[in-house]
Amino acid sequence: MDTAQLLVTAGGAGLIALVVWFFFFAPHRVAAAVAGTGGVQQVDITVKGGYSPDVIEVERGRLVQLNFYRAEDNSCSEELLLPDFQIRRELPPFQTTAIELLPRQPGRYEFTCGMHMLRGSLVVK
């Protein structure tokens, strides 16, 4: 291998390491829901290359309202899936989309974009 090949190989290995880190080891931003008027647990989530916060803690048995603000028009994030609650919703860019659900069972429920690339979880306590 000459120097250029070595550099390309090293660069590729570096990119792979970055992708692995991003998907599996990136730090999570955890938020607990705040119960507002009427006892609805509200959480504001920003959608931009990911979900922030991406771990949302709620109490079971009380309505939850997730306010997804999509701060981009990248097609990756245009759909939100929350399969355990049979939810599939379009998130229009630069708007807030409210998604309501009633968590009955404690557990950890994943939500993702339409391609399962962006991920977050709803933790029901």
The DSSP bridge pattern shows strands 119-124 and 87-90 to be: unpaired
Q: Determine if 80 is a binding residue for Cu ion (CB under 5 A).
A: no
Shortest approach of Cu ion to residue 26 CB, angstroms?
Answer: 16
| Cβ 71 to Cu ion shortest distance, Å | 15
Which residue has 């970055």 as its token pair? 18
Q: Binding residue for Cu ion (CB under 5 A) from 33, 45, 56, 113?
A: 113
- Determine the Cα–Cα distance for residues 118 and 86; give it in Å rounded to an integer: 18
Size of the site for Cu ion (CB under 5 A): 4
Q: How near is the Cβ of 18 to Cu ion at its closest, in Å?
A: 18
The CB-of-108 to Cu ion minimum distance in angstroms stands at: 20
Subset of residues 34 to 53 that bind Cu ion, contact rule: CB under 5 A:
none
Closest by CA to 99, choosing from 71, 72, 67, is 67
CA pair distance 85, 95, nearest whole angstrom: 22
* Closest to Cu ion by CB, 104 or 116: 116
Distance in Å from the first CA to the final CA of the chain: 55
Residue 117: which of 31, 26, 1 has the closest Cα? 26
The answer to whether 115 contacts Cu ion (rule: CB under 5 A) is yes
| Residues in contact with Cu ion by the rule CB under 5 A | 76, 113, 115, 117
